[in-house]
Amino acid sequence: MLIVYDSLTGNVRRFVEKLHKFSSVRIEDGLQIEEPFILVTYTTGLGFIPDLTQKFLETNAANMQGVASSGNKNFGNYYGLAADLIAEQYQIPIIHKFEFAGLPSDVDQFTKGVEGHEAYRTE
Kindly report, residue by residue over 92-119, the tens digit of the pLDDT.
Answer: 999 999 999 999 999 999 999 998 875 4
Average pLDDT over residues 89-94: 96
pLDDT of residue 123: 35
pTM metric for this prediction: 0.93
Residue range(s) defining the domain that contains residue 44: 2-122
Q: CA quadruple 88, 118, 78, 46: dihedral positive or negative?
A: negative
pLDDT of residue 45: 87
- Total of domains in the chain: 1
pLDDT of residue 122: 37
From the CB of residue 65, how many other CB atoms can be counted at a distance below 10 Å? 20
CATH of the domain at 32: 3.40.50.360
